[in-house]
């Protein structure tokens, strides 16, 4: 009877799935951690190896599984792969970033939708949270910006996990990007991320990081 209940109760099924995952994989091995964070680098130059639409779809499906506040999922992704798209994006970039964008097979605009909360009936169906956002513009904005940034980070880690290299960029005009790409739907750009297979000859040494004792504490 217990197994039968687990198979039909969504909560029990979700809990069983997490237990099974933990039994199957206790932690990532050191090579995997090196690939996604510890030895990963931001890249500035790219080979001409293409990135397929199939791989971008897989990247999205992994990214979207990351947690967001109340499952709001405010991030929106625009993949710029064509010369026409790059021509439209270039005027918004600071000059040092133009070659980085031009050389990458894909540049993703990580954006957020101000109307994200209107989809909470789908995303958070068990409780009506729309009034929290409809009556508080500042709260809605902060939730969107914070969580779309989180989703952008998930996106970068997922890309590395799939064997892609990434190079995030904030050196651009958000207003220019929004006017060019989002005039109709009202989305707001957060940051850009180049994707592809890097030419590592453009790298310099990895910059310092703080030690644990410098920035961490116990209370």
In a domain, 83, yes or no: yes
Residues 24 and 78 in one domain: no
pLDDT category of residue 6 using cuts at 50, 70 and 90: low
Residues 20 and 127 in one domain: no
In a domain, 178, yes or no: yes
* pLDDT of residue 5 exceeding 80: no
Residues 10 and 97 in one domain: no
Domain CATH for 48: 3.40.109.10
Residues 7 and 94 in one domain: no
Strands 188-196 and 106-112, how do they pair? antiparallel
In a domain, 8, yes or no: yes
Q: How many domains does the chain have?
A: 2
DSSP labels for 178-201? HHHHSTTT--EEEEEEEEE-B-GG
Residues 66 and 34 in one domain: no
Q: What is the pLDDT of residue 8?
A: 80
Residues 158 and 133 in one domain: yes
Residues 137 and 75 in one domain: yes
Residues 138 and 90 in one domain: yes
Residues 29 and 46 in one domain: no
Residues 172 and 115 in one domain: yes
Average pLDDT over residues 160-188: 98
Average pLDDT over residues 92-98: 97
In a domain, 212, yes or no: no
In a domain, 15, yes or no: yes
Q: pLDDT tens digits, residue range 106-122?
A: 999 999 999 999 999 99
Q: What is the pLDDT of residue 185?
A: 97
Q: What is the mean pLDDT of the chain?
A: 95
Rg (CA), the chain: 20
In a domain, 204, yes or no: no
In a domain, 2, yes or no: yes
* pLDDT of residue 55 exceeding 50: yes
Residues 120 and 59 in one domain: yes
Q: What is the pTM of this model?
A: 0.93
Beta strands in the chain (DSSP E): 75-80, 106-112, 165-169, 188-196
Residues 126 and 72 in one domain: yes
Strands 165-169 and 188-196, how do they pair? antiparallel
In a domain, 208, yes or no: no
Q: What is the pLDDT of residue 1?
A: 46
> Distance (Å, rounded) from C-alpha 89 to C-alpha 46?
18
- In degrees rounded to 5, what are phi and psi of residue 82? -100, 160
Give me the domain span that covers residue 155. Answer: 42-199
Strands 106-112 and 75-80, how do they pair? antiparallel
């Amino acid at each position: 009877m217990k197994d039968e209940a687990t198979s039909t109760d969504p909560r029990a099924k979700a809990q069983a799935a997490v237990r099974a995952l933990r039994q199957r994989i206790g932690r990532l091995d050191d090579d995997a951690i090196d690939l996604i964070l510890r030895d990963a680098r931001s890249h500035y130059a790219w080979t001409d190896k293409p990135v397929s639409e199939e791989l971008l779809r897989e990247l999205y499906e992994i990214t979207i599984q990351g947690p967001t506040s109340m499952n709001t999922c405010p991030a929106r992704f625009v993949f710029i792969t064509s010369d026409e798209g790059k021509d439209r994006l270039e005027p918004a970039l600071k000059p040092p970033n133009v070659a980085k964008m031009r050389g990458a097979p894909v540049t993703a605009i990580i954006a957020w939708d101000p109307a994200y909360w209107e989809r909470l009936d789908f995303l958070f169906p068990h409780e009506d949270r729309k009034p929290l956002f409809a009556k508080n513009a500042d709260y809605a904005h902060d939730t969107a910006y914070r969580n779309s940034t989180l989703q952008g980070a998930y996106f970068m880690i997922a890309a590395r996990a799939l064997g892609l290299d990434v190079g995030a960029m904030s050196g651009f005009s958000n207003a220019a990007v929004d006017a060019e790409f989002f005039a109709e739907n009202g989305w707001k750009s957060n940051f850009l991320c180049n994707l592809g297979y890097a030419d590592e000859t453009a790298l310099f040494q990895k910059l310092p990081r703080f030690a644990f004792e410098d920035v961490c504490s116990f209370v």
